[in-house]
Amino acid sequence: MEEAEIWIKKADEDLSVSQKLFTLDKRIYNNIICFHCQQAVEKYLKSFLVFHNIEIPKTHDLAKLIKLCIKVNEEFKILRDNDIDNLTIYATDLRYPDFFAGDMSFEETKEAIEKAEFVKDFVMKKLKGV
């Protein structure tokens, strides 16, 4: 569990940053918030994989990570069904002005935080149930 706990701690940091920035009245942070939400989800998924001794790929692609998690526990299909993998764009395209122009809306940002919180709760329940 030790290595998984390290991943969880890092994920918690990303999620906490997102939640704190969201409380500020500065919409200039929306892109940063969405980026950290994707990072949190990625790290929660990797914590689950590490816990189950699955070699984690060096990827930001949440669809790939969710697919690996499903191989361990089919209940992870709920993450795919809830479009959690759509957060991947925040780790890649959002960081480069050539690919993405503009800021995330308040609603998109709120949804990213809600998805990250959902994944945290889901993964933590799965790790405690082992």
**Residue 13 has what DSSP assignment?**
H
**Is pLDDT above 60 for 40?**
yes
Q: Does position 110 have pLDDT exceeding 90, yes or no? A: yes
Residue 99: the pLDDT is: 57
Cα–Cα separations (whole angstroms), residue 38 to 2, 43, 86, 128, 129: 23, 9, 9, 23, 24
From CA 78, how far away is CA 127, in angstroms rounded?
Answer: 16
Q: Say if CB 88 and CB 62 are below 8 A apart.
A: yes
pLDDT-based confidence at residue 91 (cuts at 50, 70, 90):
confident
Domains in the chain, CATH or no CATH each: 2-128 (1.20.120.330)
Percent of the chain with pLDDT over 90: 75
Quote the CA–CA distance of 41 and 105 in Å, as a whole number. Answer: 20
Report the mean per-residue pLDDT for the chain.
91
